[in-house]
Amino acid sequence: MEVVYKKPESLKDETIIYCPGCGHGIIHRLIAEVVDELGIREKTIGVAPVGCAVVAYNFFNFDVTESAHGRAPAVATAIKRLLPDRIVFTYQGDGDLAAIGTSEIIHAAARGENITVVFVNNAIYGMTKGQMAPTTIPGMKTTTTIEGRNVKYHGYPLKVCELLSQIDGVYYVERTSIDSIPNIIKTKQSIRKAFKYQIENKGFSLVEILSPCPINWKMTPKESMDWIRDVMSKYFVLGVFKDKGG
């Protein structure tokens, strides 16, 4: 019998501890499929963030290290410089990358480090149960913006792809979403492109993925996907912001 669908070798057989409807499971799987398809599992080194995905080493069946909050790009920089033939990626959430780690991501990008960054944007601090994130969109309710984010008081969200695309050292930046099957397929293609560019020594790539957090958004998984499509992706517009290779 022909096998048409199976667990990627790059995923361990481990009980998922993410919340129901969380996007991390989908994104982990997409990365694992890409790593399998590119045949790089045995030379991939992942750098996990602080946040829900800190436990990524439990799920990925390749070498993964923890990093301090926001510092994954600095950790990845050293690994890639010392082991240039390995494939090094960071997996970071919005609090990790766009708040406490803003300096590290901008300077890794500016140095043009030949690494891949998977940036999961769910517009909220998930692991700490729903505070305002740097990517919480105007009007959105969180536990620290109970009346909704008021830009006059709380300031504006940070648009990471728009920001990074201005930096000379950046090779490829794209924002995708996993709110629908076509967008999940598109996201996988973007992740694959980002890894492929690293294999080809092209330089710094980042894929921002709009991802649901139903528990902290206080929505059902279906409502979350609809909200990404109808509201979130209107603020964080999907698309390629920079692609020196295409």
**Interface positions with another protein (CB under 8 A):** 41-45, 47, 54-55, 57, 60-68, 71, 74-79, 81-83, 86, 103-104, 106-107, 111
For the CB of residue 144, give the shortest distance to another protein in the complex, in Å.
23
**Strands 116-121, 131-132: pairing kind:** unpaired
For the CB of residue 202, give the shortest distance to another protein in the complex, in Å.
20
For the CB of residue 129, give the shortest distance to another protein in the complex, in Å.
15
Q: Whose Cβ is closer to another protein: residue 123's or residue 164's?
A: 164
Bridge partners (DSSP) of residue 93 are 120
Which residue has tokens 């790089």? 40
Q: Whose Cβ is closer to another protein: residue 18's or residue 217's?
A: 18
Q: Whose Cβ is closer to another protein: residue 203's or residue 212's?
A: 203
Q: Whose Cβ is closer to another protein: residue 134's or residue 157's?
A: 134
Distance CA 84, CA 232 (A): 37
For the CB of residue 184, give the shortest distance to another protein in the complex, in Å.
26
- DSSP percent split of the chain into helix, strand, coil, nearest 5: 40, 20, 40
164 neighbors 109 (Cβ within 8 angstroms): yes
Amino acid at 169: G
Q: Whose Cβ is closer to another protein: residue 74's or residue 228's?
A: 74
For the CB of residue 157, give the shortest distance to another protein in the complex, in Å.
23
Distance CA 209, CA 190 (A): 10
149 neighbors 215 (Cβ within 8 angstroms): no
Query: How many CB atoms are closer than 10 A to CB 127?
Result: 16
